[in-house]
Each structure stands twice: as structure tokens, then as C-alpha cells.
């Protein structure tokens, strides 16, 4: 009997155009089906940072030019991005399964994730979304829209919005039931954030960190392994310095020490490391892996990448 595995795929790993995303989804599908061939049950999550930002920017531009009659809230922008990313991944995985003669269903679940309306993230927006822009354009957009922009990793300026912590996954039982028979694509973009008011769920102007939601999902379904796919094969300390050291097998306690020493960037590797620690701290014999998409099929077979253990 195989493991139950949650695989978190970064939105930046899916390119910046529909054509690029289709091509990269096919690459991701090969790695996912490789894992399935060894008997594992797979749930796929994915980011949507670049995609939701482009959708929001395009729709708001259309509103400003009177092409459409209303601005599009972030929850709806997120839902649009989750729909088309989910379609591309679902299609690519189905095609890969057909090619290999494997009889397995694939289903995408547009997932609502509950957040606390009092979360401090709403008062201090920090989550970058959308395309990079020059400083002058960022300043102009701030004046025109009231959005907040910050410099991001030396690559330009990006809009930031609230990033509250995920509290619960509304469609959890549906995801759990589907995963017994199908590859499930869920919690896209960290899930569509909703708050509870007067017994109703209402979309929130926020983006949830997809790694934290993925870790929450992995905990709630009692997954055996949590794999975070990113741009590098290993997590490293002293990154890009002469004394850089790749981390291979490391305990949660050891990794916590490196977090305390400030080795991981807040907008880059830190959320992934914290999510991995969150999952491995949820029980005995839990394993998290952080590695590249290209390396993912070797992650379980050969302990490739950075392996975090309880």
C-alpha cells in the first residue's frame, strides 16, 4: 500500500502565459504520475500568485476603461485563476494517465479556506501578487488605485495584499472522499479566503499562502508525505554565499534553529520551511520534502532534495 502524498506546486513554476502554463503543466503531470505509478495516492495543490495578479490587473483595467461595469474582488479573481490553472493541471494529468494506460480519475475542487476576520494580516498586507513593475509605475498605480506596492527581491515592485493564516478547509470532506478514487487538485492558490459573518461564508480581499494551506490540508487528511516543489533542488543556509550549505536530511528541531538564525527569506523560502515544519510536527513518522519540479520523481525513491523529518 502506498503513501498518501500532498504535492504543492508553486504558481511561479507554471510560467507567465497560457502557452507556457500548458507546457509546464505537462512537465508537472509527468512527475505526479511517476509518483502514482509506485502506488501512492496524490493530492495536488498549487500557487496562483502571478496568475491572480494578472487577472486582477486586467479586470480592473477593463473596469477603468468602462469595458465592464464592476471591479472584480480578489476572491473572485482568485476563483478565476484557480479554475484555469486547475483545468490545465487536470487536463495534463489526464493525458499523461491515458498515455500510460492508467485508469484513474482526476478532479479539481475549487476550495474555500476559512480565515479569521481579525487576523493581523488584514491590517498589514505583505503577500506579493501579480507581475513585477518599475518603481515609477508602482507609484502611479498606488495613487490611482490605492493598492500598496513593495520592492520584491531586487526584481521590481509588486502589489501586496493581506495574507491571513488558514484556519479550516470548507470542502475537506469532499477532497477526502474524492482522493480515495481520483487524483485531486485542491486548495489552489492557498484556497479562496472566506470569513464567517452571521453564519454565512463571505469572500475576503486576501490571498492565503499556498504552502501554509497545503500543510494544513496534509495535516487534516493525515498525509504521510508533504512535498513542496520550488525552483531549487535543496534548501540551503548561507544562500548564494561562499559558505553556502545544502540541507539534505534534517530534523524539524535542527531546521527551527536555522529559521531562528534568519537563513530563509520571508518572501521566498521561509514560508515553505515553516509549512514543512508545521506538517512534520503534526505526528510521528511524518516526512516533508522540499525540492525542484524536475527532481520530484526522485524525491521518494532516492531521498533527493531536502528531507525534513519529525
In the set 12, 91, 95, 295, the catalytic residue is 12
In the set 47, 53, 189, 210, the catalytic residue is 210
Q: Rounded CA gap, 30 and 35, in Å?
A: 9
In the set 10, 60, 121, 127, the catalytic residue is 127
Cα–chain center distance at 245: 25
Give the CA distances from residue 201 to residues 114, 125, 137, 161, 193, in Å, rounded to whole numbers and listed in that order: 8, 22, 35, 20, 9
In the set 57, 272, 286, 287, the catalytic residue is 272
Closest CA to 283 of 191, 181, 215: 215
In the set 10, 11, 188, 190, the catalytic residue is 11
Q: Rounded CA gap, 149 and 303, in Å?
A: 39
- The question of whether 99 is a catalytic residue gets the answer no
- The question of whether 127 is a catalytic residue gets the answer yes
- The question of whether 57 is a catalytic residue gets the answer no
Give the CA distances from residue 166 to residues 115, 140, 278, 310, in Å, rounded to whole numbers and listed in that order: 5, 32, 13, 22
CB 192 within 8 A of CB 164: no
Q: Kindly state the DSSP code that residue 164 receives in the 8-state scheme.
A: P
CB 93 within 8 A of CB 183: yes
**Residues noted as catalytic:** 11-12, 127, 210, 272
Amino acid at each position: 500500500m502506498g503513501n498518501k502524498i500532498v504535492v504543492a506546486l508553486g504558481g511561479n513554476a507554471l510560467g507567465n502565459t497560457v502557452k507556457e502554463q500548458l507546457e509546464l503543466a505537462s512537465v508537472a503531470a509527468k512527475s505526479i504520475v511517476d509518483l502514482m505509478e509506485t502506488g501512492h495516492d496524490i493530492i495536488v495543490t498549487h500557487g496562483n500568485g502571478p496568475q491572480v495578479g494578472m487577472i486582477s490587473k486586467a479586470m480592473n483595467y477593463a473596469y477603468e476603461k468602462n469595458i465592464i461595469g464592476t471591479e472584480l474582488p480578489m476572491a473572485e479573481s482568485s476563483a478565476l485563476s484557480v479554475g484555469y490553472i486547475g483545468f490545465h493541471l487536470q487536463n495534463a494529468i489526464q493525458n499523461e494517465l491515458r498515455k500510460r494506460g492508467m485508469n484513474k480519475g482526476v478532479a479539481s475542487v475549487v476550495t474555500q479556506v476559512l480565515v479569521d476576520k481579525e487576523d493581523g494580516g488584514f491590517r498589514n498586507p505583505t503577500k506579493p501578487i501579480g507581475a513585477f513593475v518599475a518603481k515609477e509605475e508602482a507609484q502611479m498605480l498606488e495613487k490611482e488605485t490605492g493598492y500598496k506596492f513593495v520592492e520584491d527581491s531586487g526584481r521590481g515592485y509588486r502589489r501586496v495584499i493581506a495574507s491571513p493564516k488558514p484556519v479550516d478547509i470548507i470542502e475537506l470532506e469532499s477532497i477526502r472522499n474524492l482522493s480515495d478514487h481520483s487524483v485531486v487538485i485542491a486548495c489552489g492558490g492557498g484556497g479562496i479566503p472566506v470569513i464567517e459573518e452571521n453564519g454565512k461564508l463571505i469572500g475576503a480581499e486576501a490571498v492565503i499562502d499556498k504552502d501554509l494551506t497545503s500543510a494544513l490540508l496534509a495535516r487534516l487528511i493525515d498525509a504521510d508525505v508533504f512535498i513542496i516543489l520550488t525552483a531549487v533542488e535543496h534548501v540551503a543556509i548561507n544562500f548564494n554565499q561562499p559558505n553556502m550549505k545544502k540541507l539534505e536530511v534534517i530534523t524539524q528541531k535542527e531546521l527551527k534553529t536555522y529559521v531562528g538564525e534568519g537563513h530563509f527569506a520571508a518572501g521566498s523560502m521561509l514560508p515553505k520551511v515553516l509549512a514543512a515544519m508545521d506538517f512534520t510536527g503534526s505526528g510521528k513518522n511524518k516526512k516533508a520534502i522540499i525540492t525542484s519540479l524536475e527532481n520530484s520523481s526522485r524525491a521518494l525513491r532516492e531521498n533527493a532534495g531536502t528531507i525534513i523529518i519529525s
